[in-house]
């Protein structure tokens, strides 16, 4: 009898699937679940882990620290230095480098008053915003508007991000997108996976190991801002989105508390600082390559009719000679007043444009209209082209594609020979194009498919967007491009 029972048990073990024998690697993720492919892909890439004991916990919440960690892994876990400036994070904690990196790059920010919300659940709109910032904070126009779409239920600060997520296919029909509700772990996995697929469709760059998120590759325009309550940060995001610019959050070494921001208290920190002409609050971190930027938008809230003294710390920390500075401020009622003029005296060799004050309720369209009216094209600097080690003379076209390319600088492109007449290489993302059928000539530089640059040392007929022309002879072009693959560098000139 015992032998018969043993035989039955052995047969059952042979035919029953192992408890953890699941393609996703987790016992609680069915192979046919709508999120299973995403969970498996992110696990294999080392981007998103389970909760232990072979479980993924699909319906569980995902904290803000966990999302910062996912974004940090997507960026390739670059080295970081400095302090994050938040009072509720712990140095050396498992999330410390991720939160520091995310705060320094502007991808993840705190609530204001020095709080990050480490263990708070990530809301669905926060998830969309962080992916949107990583992608470059692109603002989609009114042609994508729909009165029944999910972005209309999002906060104003998240509206553009949620619209982008909807239009670019990051949202699933499997579960409703509810902007203010916590994001389930399965939703996080699905949206992050869709984001990676989006990058792969528009770029030859490996989305996980390619080191630099697109939001950091904003080229010659920097939007630097100081924000305690999130109002100035939102306007800064609108500016950066309209220009595909880089962002830098000015973070104090000692965060401002509610008591510090009590303007009615004559002994509060802000009152004392604003009434001390020599006050220069210390900043955590710095802009690593300020020389790369020709135009700097400088944003701040109005405190006692002036820019906070930490703005003076920032301006006086760099050589801004020859750069164009565009101040902007936020306030409930006060105008920009003399705040920009007073601040400009700390960088008198920069070119200061007239600033503007924005209310907290200002929408992205209003900000974008203001930016367009600044006529920054001539202020963004020239662009130089280097083939291998040789800088070559170029006559660039005056069109939106060249302007968009300039905002990606500096840019290194690995080119490949093709057809015996051209070198072609990816720029890492799609930019505006206006293709037309044309026959190229030796030296022509064109945009192909919106995301690749082609330089000709021969000729071809196809549909391209013209970018410029290398002013060298056919023999010189053949010598530079006709002997194998080359590396091309585009940089501010």
Give the per-residue pLDDT at 217: 36
Q: Are residue 250 and residue 304 in the same domain, yes or no?
A: yes
Q: Are residue 39 and residue 182 in the same domain, yes or no?
A: yes
- Domain span at residue 450 reads 383-492
- pLDDT-based confidence at 478, cuts 50/70/90? very high
Q: Are residue 72 and residue 207 in the same domain, yes or no?
A: yes
Q: Are residue 128 and residue 65 in the same domain, yes or no?
A: yes
Task: Round to whole Å and give the CA distance between 62 and 96.
Answer: 17
User: Domain end: 379, 413, 447, which one?
Assistant: 379
439 within domain boundaries: yes
Q: What percent of the chain lies above the pLDDT cut of 90?
A: 42
Residue 468 near residue 399, CB atoms below 8 Å: no
CATH of the domain at 321: 3.40.50.360
Q: Are residue 413 and residue 344 in the same domain, yes or no?
A: no
- Listed residue (443, 444, 450, 445) closest to 427, CA to CA: 450
Q: Are residue 151 and residue 274 in the same domain, yes or no?
A: no
- Listed residue (284, 265, 287, 289) closest to 275, CA to CA: 265
Q: Are residue 371 and residue 417 in the same domain, yes or no?
A: no
Phi, psi of 438 (to 5 degrees): -155, 160
Domain count, the chain: 3
- Listed residue (84, 110, 80, 77) closest to 288, CA to CA: 80
Q: Are residue 175 and residue 248 in the same domain, yes or no?
A: no
What is the tens place of the pLDDT at every residue in 80-118? Answer: 887 877 888 998 899 999 998 888 777 877 765 678 888
> What is the H or E stretch that residue 68 is in?
helix 64-74
Q: Are residue 85 and residue 129 in the same domain, yes or no?
A: yes
Sort 467 into a burial class: Cβ within 10 Å, 0-12 / 13-18 / 19+.
buried
Q: Are residue 47 and residue 30 in the same domain, yes or no?
A: yes
9 within domain boundaries: no
Q: Are residue 174 and residue 275 in the same domain, yes or no?
A: no
Mean pLDDT value across residues 19-35: 77
Residue 456 near residue 417, CB atoms below 8 Å: no
61 within domain boundaries: yes
56 within domain boundaries: yes
User: Domain end: 379, 402, 425, which one?
Assistant: 379
Give the per-residue pLDDT at 319: 92
Task: Round to whole Å and give the CA distance between 177 and 192.
Answer: 15
- Long-range contacts made by residues 274-280, C-beta under 8 angstroms, separation at least 24? 274/303, 274/304, 274/306, 274/308, 274/309, 275/304, 276/309, 279/309, 280/309, 280/310, 280/312, 280/313, 280/316
228 within domain boundaries: yes
User: In this predicted model, which residue has the larger pLDDT, 401 or 341?
Assistant: 341
18 within domain boundaries: no
Residue 169 near residue 194, CB atoms below 8 Å: yes
User: Domain end: 334, 357, 379, which one?
Assistant: 379
């Amino acid at each position: 009898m015992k032998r018969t029972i043993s035989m039955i048990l052995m047969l059952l073990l042979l035919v029953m699937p192992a408890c953890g024998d699941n393609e996703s690697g987790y016992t609680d993720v069915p192979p046919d679940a709508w999120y299973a492919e995403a969970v498996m892909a992110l696990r294999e890439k080392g981007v998103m882990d389970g909760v232990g004991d072979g479980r993924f916990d699909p319906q569980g919440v995902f904290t803000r620290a966990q999302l910062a960690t996912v974004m940090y892994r997507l960026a390739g876990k670059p080295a970081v230095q400095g302090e994050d400036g938040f009072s509720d994070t712990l140095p050396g904690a498992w999330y410390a480098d991720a939160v520091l990196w995310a705060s320094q790059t502007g991808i993840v920010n705190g609530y204001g008053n020095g709080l990050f919300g480490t263990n708070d659940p990530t809301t669905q709109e926060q998830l969309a915003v962080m992916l949107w910032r990583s992608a470059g904070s692109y603002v989609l126009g009114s042609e994508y508007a729909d009165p029944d779409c999910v972005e209309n239920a999002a906060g104003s600060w998240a509206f553009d991000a949620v619209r982008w997520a909807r239009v670019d296919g990051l949202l699933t029909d499997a579960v409703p997108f509810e902007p203010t509700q916590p994001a389930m772990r399965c939703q996080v996995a699905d949206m992050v996976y869709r984001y990676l697929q989006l990058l792969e469709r528009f770029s030859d760059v490996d989305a996980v190991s390619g080191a630099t998120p697109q939001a950091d590759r904003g080229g010659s325009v920097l939007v630097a801002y100081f924000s305690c309550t999130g109002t100035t940060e939102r306007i800064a995001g609108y500016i950066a989105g309209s220009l595909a610019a880089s962002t830098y959050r000015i973070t104090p070494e000692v965060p401002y508390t509610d008591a510090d921001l009590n303007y009615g208290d004559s002994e509060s920190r802000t009152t004392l600082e604003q009434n001390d002409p020599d006050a220069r609050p210390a900043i955590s971190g710095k802009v690593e390559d300020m020389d790369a930027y020709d135009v700097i938008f400088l944003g701040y809230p109005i405190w006692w009719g002036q820019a906070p003294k930490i703005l003076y710390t920032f301006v006086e920390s760099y050589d801004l000679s020859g750069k164009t500075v565009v101040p902007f401020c936020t306030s409930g009622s006060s105008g920009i007043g003399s705040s920009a003029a007073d601040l400009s005296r700390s960088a008198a060799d920069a070119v200061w444009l007239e600033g503007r004050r924005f209310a907290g309720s200002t929408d992205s369209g209003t900000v974008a209209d203001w930016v367009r009216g600044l006529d920054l094209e001539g202020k963004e600097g020239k662009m130089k082209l280097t083939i291998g080690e040789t800088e070559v003379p170029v006559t660039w076209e005056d069109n939106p594609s060249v302007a968009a390319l300039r905002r990606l600088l500096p840019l290194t492109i690995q080119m490949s020979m093709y057809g015996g007449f051209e070198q072609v290489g990816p720029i890492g993302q799609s930019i505006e194009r206006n293709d037309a059928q044309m026959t190229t000539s030796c030296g022509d530089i064109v945009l192909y498919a919106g995301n690749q640059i082609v330089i000709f040392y021969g000729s071809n007929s196809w549909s391209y967007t013209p970018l410029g022309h290398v002013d060298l002879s056919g023999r010189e072009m053949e010598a530079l491009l006709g002997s194998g693959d080359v590396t091309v560098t585009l940089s501010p000139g």
